[in-house]
Chains A and B, each alone.
Chain A
């Protein structure tokens, strides 16, 4: 197992190396160079030349790339071209915020999605099943800014239960932040709920039809025991994978939701950096997102393996 994980980590490092080449070359391909971007279009050629010298932009590209990569690996992510603050602490703070939102969202939608999926499976083709798929598909299809705005309109403005704006103080504790997380978390959950519910529904239906489920029923076990012990243990395996793989998206991909609520997460920082052409920060965030996706994929595989005795104990 350890050998396998080490090998997978090796693969992740390889992926990141490849990604770093792509990310670095994209910034090279953009029109105008960094010095121009920083100084603006009216800068004197001398100022530009000075800055190029200062930033090391006159060195060969390979040298630039290697020095960028080694700095990145050692935690020196450079200084933001927009805010002139060090990138590393800034991104890490946003990462913390994104992780909090991801955690709250998961706690919302995973149990609910599973519950809906199981109910739909038990009432296969019945009214409840069709209602659940219709509603969850509708939400999955609606863009997040629509659901987000509706939620703000209803829960924040009309009923004033929750804050409409989720811009939080950088050093706020989780307890303080929690109320601000609820609306964005619901928005995210409504999008993902349908996916989890459908996944759970289809695997539960398969397991309900399996011979071993019929055998368990005919053993005269109480219905609840058949469902929880015999059915769900097998039916939730694919769902676990889907959930774990969703973590990457929850942390790095909530660009729209974070923007609607003004929530200071990674996604919003990325949009902001793109608007400011803050190449240094864009590079750092891109690398971080690649890492998060790779790691959550590995996590998904490990959890699946641990839960599935066929894989855990070999065949």
Chain B
């Protein structure tokens, strides 16, 4: 942290301010960073922590109303803040490069990708057209894209997200820069793709000896690829140190809180309540006068409110901005308050609520008129192909899979938003028509949904109390007073203050809006609640509080959940049963403990090994899936997973559909590999020799 001779990037006491209608706001305060060549420095923080603003300040590319008000930035001895803008342009791309968050939007849609790399080489390396082209091919090979020649000529819309992210990385390394900023580079990707990209990034950066600032909200990613980490909160760095220091013996209650918020794949709702951080991140124009974390801190005392603690060295370069850092280690995680064994036993025998059999859903791909200019065959997408799932009363069935696997379409078929092409939906012994228009009022009441994006599902013109009261008014003849009473109850149940009923959605935070959506879904007192990625767009601390809330509401009301998510840890935490879906089919189904323990389906195994765990000592087998999920238009024959399966047996996988094998009464796997063989291959001992971290 102190000006380090060996560091390439030295940032000292940086302040960044935005001019806003309510006066200047200091978004980043007093930040110092030093990053050495070849070092990957992780910057973690929730939304509003100022991490992206910091990144943009480092390259001096702030929005028009933003400015750096104090401090210095030096890159390899060059003072960046005093450079005139034409000189700065020579630093951009040559000495500092950036990899952006959403690769599909950060690459120009109208220019072939090869040219987008080649232009870097021409401008900064002074290469001729043909040299630059050659360089582009070389870089594409470097990021392990198959057939660089053909990739170079393609446009972004013809490539997958993972390939585009490789291209952005290739572009960023073309000039062999001194400093590279990666801003949430894997956030938009699926977990198996993310794992492959993270491996690539780590290997390449070791080779290039670039200093890297890796910005993310994901603690697991940091633990996997960074050497040092800084934890940012409301514009300041709260804790900084090596991965081991921060993850294993952390010295700041905020970091501890963040780590406690993340669900783990070896624990679930009956083992622990997730840790939550009460309250909200303060606005930059309403900061507490003392420690900025004090209002949310479990260790707060009078001294914390008096003056803002400095970031001090607590030993071995481990920095903390907490007055009481030596006491942080004493905070214990909360364990769950309910006995697990009875619960489990009762759930496995609980009666069936939903029995969905052989659900299929096909879509005809329609092209818009103009697209017909160049091709006009229409394709059929088999989005859901024969999925059968049962949900027991009071239990949670988790459906996990990567984007495009059909999990959301399946849920929409159950809810009736999509009309299933074929299959039976039986709810509480009653067969439901596939189309929502033909369902009875009682059936409609019994299935409720919570969507990923509460902004899209709450009417912005209606007070949220009205939104919650609406199903009550529609689904039963209840008096106005009774409705108001129920709404107040529901608000209390989802831990929202009673006076929130009169607010409009835009006056609420993302997490609060999602609570309203949950309250509204519970208003109908449904038997089955479909939760479609209900927490994916929220910060980890908010996610944790919502997961606790969902678990608690289930306990209180006995509602069954169908929980759809791509997040294995969240699925593991909330679910009693889990189905793993890939390309429109279920490949493994069973109780949560069984699915997350060997024998696994090879796809489940790959998912588990890909998931970034916020623990530097976590032992994970390194199984990486090649390529990307094939489109549901061209489904591979035989076992659908065979083109990517790391445990493929042989030709049988390419020709024959695999059989279902029962591991026990509740756990089945659809694979050609015999169960004994899977168990042997996946035994924990074999992981020892392949363990990931030295």
Contacts and interface: CB of A to CB of B under 8 A. Distances in A.
A294 B375 CA distance: 22
B106 A305 contact: no
A171 interface: no
B108 A220 contact: no
Given A229-B111, A309-B155, A218 B93 contact: yes
A225 B102 CA distance: 23
Contacts of A313: 155, 157-158, 374
Interface stretch (B117-125, B389-397, B526-534): B117-125
Contacts of B107: 212, 215
Contacts of A216: 108
B372 interface: yes
Contacts of B171: 219
A214 interface: yes
Interface in A43-96: none
B582 to A, nearest CB: 23
Interface in B257-275: none
A311 B155 CA distance: 11
B90 interface: yes
A305 B92 contact: no
Given A212-B107, A215-B107, A308-B110, A222 B373 contact: no
Given A219-B171, A220-B94, A309 B370 contact: no
Contacts of B92: 217-220
A212 B106 contact: yes
Interface string A6-17: 010000000000
Nearest to B157: A310
B693 interface: no
B157 A305 contact: no
B100 A215 contact: yes
Interface in B322-345: none
Contacts of B371: 311, 314-315
A211 B373 contact: no
B136 to A, nearest CB: 13
Contacts of A154: none
A305 B372 CA distance: 10
Interface string A203-245: 0000000111011111111110100011001100000000000
B373 A302 contact: yes
Interface residues of B, number: 38
B97 interface: yes
B438 to A, nearest CB: 34
Interface string B189-226: 00000000000000000000000000000000000000
Interface residues of A, number: 35
A315 B111 CA distance: 15
Given A211-B100, A218-B61, A230 B374 contact: no
B157 to A, nearest CB: 5
B98 interface: yes
A162 to B, nearest CB: 41
A220 B109 contact: no
A7 B102 CA distance: 38
Given A222-B123, A302-B373, A309 B105 contact: no
Contacts of A211: 100-102, 105-106
Interface in A273-315: 301-302, 304-305, 308-315
B678 interface: no
A215 B171 CA distance: 10
B257 to A, nearest CB: 32
Nearest to B168: A215
A314 B97 contact: no
Given A234-B109, A311-B373, A218 B97 contact: yes
A214 B93 CA distance: 12
Contacts of A218: 59, 61, 92-93, 96-98
A1 interface: yes
Chain A binding surface SS class:
helix
A168 B97 CA distance: 62
Given A219-B119, A220-B93, A309 B157 contact: yes
A304 B370 contact: yes
Nearest to B61: A218
B274 to A, nearest CB: 33
A234 B111 CA distance: 10
A220 B157 contact: no
A230 B116 CA distance: 10
B93 A219 contact: yes
A4 interface: yes
B376 interface: yes
Interface in B376-390: 376
A211 B188 CA distance: 14
B283 interface: no
B91 interface: yes
A3 interface: yes
A234 B110 contact: yes
B655 to A, nearest CB: 30
B680 interface: no
A230 B111 CA distance: 8
Contacts of B376: 3-4
Nearest to B104: A211
B89 interface: yes
A308 B101 CA distance: 24
Contacts of B105: 210-212
B120 A219 contact: yes
Nearest to A214: B61
Nearest to A220: B93
B106 A220 contact: no
B375 A314 contact: yes
Contacts of B109: 212, 234, 309-310
Nearest to B115: A229
Contact of B123 (A5, A221, A230): A221
B122 to A, nearest CB: 9
Contacts of A210: 105
Interface string B235-249: 000000000000000
A161 B123 CA distance: 48
Contacts of A5: 373
A272 B96 CA distance: 69
Contact of B157 (A1, A223, A225, A315): A315
Given A219-B93, A220-B90, A311 B123 contact: no
A215 B369 CA distance: 32
A220 B124 contact: yes
Contacts of B90: 220
A225 B108 CA distance: 13
A221 B119 contact: yes
B61 A310 contact: no
A4 B108 contact: no
A221 to B, nearest CB: 6
B369 to A, nearest CB: 8
Contacts of A4: 372-374, 376
Interface in B130-169: 155, 157-158, 168
A304 B119 CA distance: 26
Contacts of B111: 229-230, 233
A78 B89 CA distance: 69
B38 to A, nearest CB: 22
Given A312-B374, A314-B371, 4 more contacts: A4-B374, A220-B92, A230-B108, A311-B370
Which 6 residue pairs across A and B have the least CB separation, nearest first? Answer: A220-B93, A220-B92, A211-B105, A219-B93, A305-B373, A309-B155
Interface of A: 1, 3-5, 7, 210-212, 214-223, 225, 229-230, 233-234, 301-302, 304-305, 308-315
Interface of B: 59, 61, 89-94, 96-98, 100-102, 105-111, 119-120, 123-124, 155, 157-158, 168, 171, 369-376
27 contacts: A1-B373, A1-B374, A3-B376, A4-B372, A4-B374, A4-B376, A211-B102, A211-B105, A212-B107, A216-B108, A217-B61, A219-B119, A219-B171, A220-B92, A220-B93, A221-B93, A233-B108, A233-B110, A301-B370, A301-B373, A302-B373, A305-B370, A310-B157, A311-B371, A313-B155, A313-B158, A313-B374
